[in-house]
Structure 1
């Protein structure tokens, strides 16, 4: 019977030392990837819960959550707010490259002027015309005072949207809804962020298509599954490593036992 230390001496050969190094590198890498996916799961679950809670919350006056010249914190994203004022259709913008119902079009952004300041209102979506650089047909904003109910949104930036802003667009067309940029050319100050219209009193005779309520998401369920998967790979890597060692040792024992069997048969 071969001695145990002789059988497993192969573990110190260059080929097996290289395999040991690979396994020792793979295990912490899989641990890191699993922890990263679990972190993403926690972040997305928290964001999903916050979105669901904000969408379900009762509407409050805009001034309770936003301020003129201020910024909308992420915790208040999608909170329902109400505000009363008059639309300033002379300072209306169209936001390019916005998709709704699998069609590309524009969001219609119109300032709603109040005694304290104005707030940008996303009145809804309109389809693009045949010419991408042309101005589509946009239902006019209603005249007179209206009460708007909508979802409060932080200002859009390149960092938060992944949309690259650029100059040289057709007149009154923009790529991002950013109050700090758009407010520079207005005769009044703007509230931070913007309001995504969900209701209006009195209702307009014709209006852009309403922007659908956002999907709160699955809470990062895929990230949880990926995290579990990466940690399962750790077990697979270790199990495969041990299996290869046992198979190699078994083959070596068999090879070394074979000559002894032959000798005993010839005696």
Structure 2
């Protein structure tokens, strides 16, 4: 009855199922790994955002890359803005509006400075037109903000290019930007959340990062992939059982009915003797 399982069509189905099961196992494990990674990152960023501010120098300095575990930690730093070397960062939409980030070095003394993202401004009349940027406050200021590592093409998803209008960049890359400055830049930048004294006019603040569900979607996808394993196995068994039932029904339909035995003359005579006809 089960020899049909060795036919080419069924052998092909067995191979497909046996390949699908380990593939679904791998995809499920990969999604669970992404869930753990994103959950850990979400917890770390949430903790850094809630942590008490610390001096910038304890977490970053010239020639030092900002550690992954220190991203978005609140820091404080004092100095004076160098408006002459200010920049705007292209392709930075906010709330669905095209615009720029305003990047201004804050000179902290001792031949050092840090790039401060002072906020967002809307785009000009054209892509190459300079936006209207509020001037930074003069004199000594104390900045509070979120510490961010310098951007790369890989981390930002943006392709850097040359030939941009003067004063515009695509990436917040302290290593590249610092080559044209008369001081050393910290290997990261500060995303401003507050400063003293407060300026009369300022760019729009950059919203805090959305830590999201911490990889909850990845967990759901991982469960789905493993459920698909059960669906594949269950469907495989169902097809086999259906084939067996169909074959049994076909065999039953092919079996002929037993013929009736005709009455013989002798049996008819016996019936007449047993039941004589009335006079």
**Both proteins in one fold, TM over 0.5:** yes
Which secondary structure does the structure 2 equivalent of 1:231 belong to?
helix
- Is 1:123 equivalent to 2:118 in the alignment? yes
Matches of 2:194 and 2:107 in 1, distance apart?
17
Q: How large is the Cα RMSD of the aligned pairs? A: 1.0
Kindly indicate whether residue 142 of structure 2 is the aligned counterpart of residue 154 of structure 1: no
Counterpart pick for 2:101 among 107, 112, 117: 107
Corresponding residue number in structure 2 for 1:3: none
Mapped to 2, the partners of 1:164 and 1:61 lie a distance apart of: 33
State how far apart, in whole Å, the 2-side matches of 1:44 and 1:92 are: 35
Aligned pair 1:230/2:193, yes or no?
Answer: no
Mark the runs of 5 or more structure 2 residues left unpaired by the alignment: 262-279
Specify the alignment match of 2:3 in structure 1.
9
Q: How many residues align?
A: 260
Q: Which runs of 4+ in 1 moved over 6 A?
A: none
Could you tell me how far apart the structure 1 residues matched to 2:168 and 2:21 are?
A: 52
Equivalent in the alignment of 2:65: 71
- Match of 2:267? none
Aligned to 1:46: 40
Number of the residue aligned with 2:235: 240
After TM superposition, the structure 1 = structure 2 runs for residues 111-260 of structure 1, keeping only pairs within 5 Å, are 111-116=105-110, 117-260=112-255
Candidates 23, 26, 48, aligned match of 1:29: 23
1:133-183 CA-partner distances (Å, limit 9, x unpaired): 011110001110000000000000001111000000000100000100000
2:56 to 59, 62, 70: 62
